[in-house]
Amino acid sequence: MPLDYAQARGRQLELAVARGHRADSGRRIGSLIVNPGGPGAAGRDLAQYVASVLPRAITDRFDIVGWDPRGSGASSPVRCGRDLDYLFDGDTAPDTAAELTDLEANARRFVDACVSRSGDLLEHISTRDTVRDLDRLRAALGDRRLTYLGFSYGTYIGAMYASMFPTHVRALVLDGAVDPALSAEELVIQQAQGFGESLEMFFDWCAKRTTCAFHHNGDPRAAYEPLVRSIDANPRGEGTTRLSPSQLDLAVGALLYAGEDQYAVLADGLRDLDRGRSATLRTVFDQYVGRGASGRYNADWASFIAISCADGPNLTIGEMEALQERAGVEAPDFGAGNVGLGYQCSYWPYPPDRTGPTPLSAPTASPILVVGTTGDPATPFAWSEALATQLGSGRLVSVTGSTHTSSLNGDACLDGILTRYLVDRDVPSTGTGCGGRPRER
């Protein structure tokens, strides 16, 4: 793939692609290309997993293909150093001038490291570049039109693809949609509010169960808030078990992605922390950010930040500080910390792809399926509603649940909708919904 599509015959990049499953040769329709989101998440390994959980009525008809988008995984990954502890050891929701100074200094340090190690690659890793790669991948696989399943940020890839290449769309499933019409400020605040609502769902679940490890006489919220304040004042643990306030937020958020399935694990981690043991939640944090046992990070977090900054819109440092104050009020559990994770983009030296909200529409494309989960912590359901409307060709399916995305959860109702849509291009009627019940196995 061209590094710079404006100079298509110049420097080329290689993309890492994997076919995780082959269709029945006598029944094959084409390839189903999958993307896990991120941004920056490597997608090759997803193909095999998707093939293992989707109904055979789908996998018999499609090769399942995943790829590492440019700048991630094994596709010319962004390099910003392998020791990123400094980004998380402090507090991304600073309470003092000294903490804010540290946060901004660490953001500059990260950007300087990216620029020195990755150079001009950073100017060519936006989603728009990835979408052009995706169209070339489609053609290389021999498919006249694209069949695609994208999750979370992967919905942004899919929506932009439909906007740029509407005649190349066969069937797109966009699960856990990002709303590109939102401002940078609203996006980060609404996401933090989504995690806050998911945390409340956990507290309600825990309060009703005396077996919940963080039950606290039916009021886990009352126990959680002083625990958070104590970590903010004095991080727990040492070395590989040290847990800072930023690491605590990310560990809790990581467990909320899986909804009720991980509530018991979250309760155990909070109980352990309440008793002075930080190792459980520190392990969750390490897994979430790609920190290995040696203390070295994989490419995922650097790619996540770099692609986010390449996409934009990026705020000035003054705008970030004002947003952080606002987010702390409007989304008290996660808002200020969520803003703090993105300070690097205020120092990004390259012009972003977007300078403001950019709604995406594809009214002439074949119908596009947008799947929204009512209690999704990371991509609120309202975003799926908005994207389905923006596209002009979108059709929304709602799923009652608490997880981030739903298409791989074994829901019998949703599996049937996906099968009819992907195989037969049978589009569900407006207002279609599923209750989140698993199919029999």
Active site residues: 152, 376, 404
- Give the residue among 260, 222, 230 at the shortest CA–CA distance from 248: 230
Please state, in angstroms and as integers, the Cα–Cα distance from residue 45 to each residue in 15, 18, 175, following that order: 14, 8, 18
Rounded to whole angstroms, the Cα distance separating 356 from 185 reads 10
At residue 228's C-alpha, the angle toward residues 40 and 251, to 5°, is 25
Residues 6+ apart with CB under 8 A from 416: none
At residue 131's C-alpha, the angle toward residues 127 and 129, to 5°, is 55
Taking phi over 0 as left and psi of -120 to 50 as alpha, with beta for the rest, 96 belongs to: beta
Please state, in angstroms and as integers, the Cα–Cα distance from residue 375 to each residue in 236, 334, 421, 436, following that order: 31, 16, 24, 11
Between helices 184-207 and 317-330, what is the axis angle to 10°?
30
Q: Which amino acid is at 207?
A: A
Q: Identify the residue whose tokens are 């104590």.
A: 230
Q: What tokens does 329 get? A: 């009020």
Q: 262-269 long-range contacts, Cβ below 8 Å, gap at least 24?
A: 263/202, 263/205, 263/206, 263/212, 264/212, 264/213, 266/202, 266/214, 267/202, 267/206, 267/212, 267/213, 267/214, 267/215, 267/220, 268/213, 268/214
Q: Identify the residue whose tokens are 């093939």.
A: 51
Q: Which amino acid is at 416?
A: G
Number of helices (H), then strands (E), belonging to the chain: the values are 16, 8
Q: What tokens does 294 get? A: 């040696």
Computed on alpha carbons and rounded to an integer, the radius of gyration of the chain in Å comes to: 21
Q: Which amino acid is at 255?
A: L
Q: For residue 431, give the DSSP letter.
A: T
